[in-house]
Structures are given as C-alpha cells and as structure tokens.
Amino acid sequence: MGVSWDRMRTMKARLAVLGSGSGTNCQSIFNAIDDGRLDAEVVIVLSDHEDAYILERARRRGVPTAWLDCGGYKNKFPAEAQEALARQLSELKVDLICLAGFMRLVKEPLLRAFPRRILNIHPALLPAFPGVEAWKQALEAGATRTGCTVHYVDAGMDTGEIIMQAYVPVLPDDTPESLHARIQVQEHILYPAAIISALSRL
C-alpha cells in the first residue's frame, strides 16, 4: 500500500472524507484544494447518514458520494461495513482517509488496510476531553482554554498520535454553541494544514 515518491510527484494525493453531519470541515478541505494550498483531490465522500449535508456539499462539487450501511446500529461501525469500506477505498487508490465529524469508532480492519493513513479532527486539545461534544465538556469543566486537534486514528477513542493542535480561549459568557463556533473557525484552518503535513510524511 506504499506510495512511491515518483507517484507523489506526478499525481495528486487521493483523499476520502467520512462525515456524519454538516461537513464544514469537508468544505474547508475543498476550499484548500481550490485555493491551491492543498495539492490533492477528494475522490469520494461517505456518510453513515443518507441525508447528511456533507453528502450534498460533495454532490454540488461533482464529487462521488456513498452511504455507509452500518446495519441499523446507532453508534457501532460493524466489522463487515469496515471491510467493505476498506475494499472500496483500496480500489479507489485512496492515500488518506479524513474523518470530518464522523461519529463512529474506526477499528480493524480499516486500520489494518490504511495504517497511519486515517486522520481525525477533534474539537478539543487532546488528550483533554475525548469523546462526544468536547466543547460542552470543556465548558462544564470550567476550562479557560480549549481548541482542536488533528491526530492519526488508532484503535482507541481519540488517542492516536497528534499531528497538529490549535488553541481557542473559553470566554466568560460562552454558550456551548458560541464556543463550538469559535473552535470550528480554527478547525477549518487546522485540518487542511494537518493533511498537508501528513501527506508529506507518507
């Protein structure tokens, strides 16, 4: 699954983006490609929710989309679904998988098929506040600063090696919504930069 230096020189990096929601981080990847910061191509966008807006963003751009059938489970990402996805993304010769608001845990066999090739963006300064609604966790803990992290995905929950982080202050009158919005501004700068860094290490 190694990518030769010659291939990297002559071909754009091929990205797959997985998300469960609105897809503003996916949009930031599209924007970075369009303004020339990121020399890559998004070859497919996938979601576990058929009506997720991330899929609409991709369709509007002409990027192929697919729905991930998770067998009716609310949170689980069944092994068979991960196996099928690994095959699909290998056939598409994907270099890097970018989780962008994807709310299921990736495990074997996807990790085995794409070692150190799966990234995630998380709305906190890991290792602080892993898991869901990390901005709410930061507020409830009385943190005075939080942020966002891009990391490699491993078998744990938000435990993989950190690639880049950005700080965000928590303001006295912050609500969960205002804090998450301020974190997202940083996410949209951080994720493309971290993808560039990860691609340079392939």
Catalytic residues: 122
Q: Which of 99, 152, 159, 102 is nearest to 126 (CA)?
A: 159
What's the min distance (Å) between Cβ of 60 and ligand GAR? 15
Alpha helices for 77-159 (secondary structure H):
79-91, 110-113, 134-140
If one asks whether residue 149 binds ligand GAR (CB under 6 A), the answer comes out as no
If one asks whether residue 187 binds ligand GAR (CB under 6 A), the answer comes out as yes
If one asks whether residue 163 binds ligand GAR (CB under 6 A), the answer comes out as no
Q: How many Cβ atoms sit within 10 Å of the Cβ of residue 151?
A: 22
What's the min distance (Å) between Cβ of 180 and ligand GAR? 6
- Cα separation, 107 vs 197, in Å, equals 23
The tokens describing 63, both together, are 């990027």
If one asks whether residue 22 binds ligand GAR (CB under 6 A), the answer comes out as yes
If one asks whether residue 186 binds ligand GAR (CB under 6 A), the answer comes out as no
What's the min distance (Å) between Cβ of 71 and ligand GAR? 21
What's the min distance (Å) between Cβ of 68 and ligand GAR? 15
- Residue list 86-125, contact with ligand GAR (CB under 6 A): 100-101, 121-123
- Cα separation, 104 vs 123, in Å, equals 15
Burial class (CB in 10 A: 0-12, 13-18, 19+), 162: middle
Ramachandran assignment for 169, one of left (phi > 0), alpha (psi -120 to 50 degrees), beta (any other): beta
The tokens describing 141, both together, are 């803990």
Among 16, 17, 23, 57, indicate the residue that binds ligand GAR (CB under 6 A).
Answer: 23
Q: Which residue has the tokens 């490609």?
A: 33
- Residue list 24-43, contact with ligand GAR (CB under 6 A): 24-25
Number of residues that bind ligand GAR (CB under 6 A): 14
Interface characters, 46-85, with ligand GAR (x: CB under 6 A): ----------------------------------------
Footprint of ligand GAR (CB under 6 A): 19, 21-25, 100-101, 121-123, 134, 184, 187
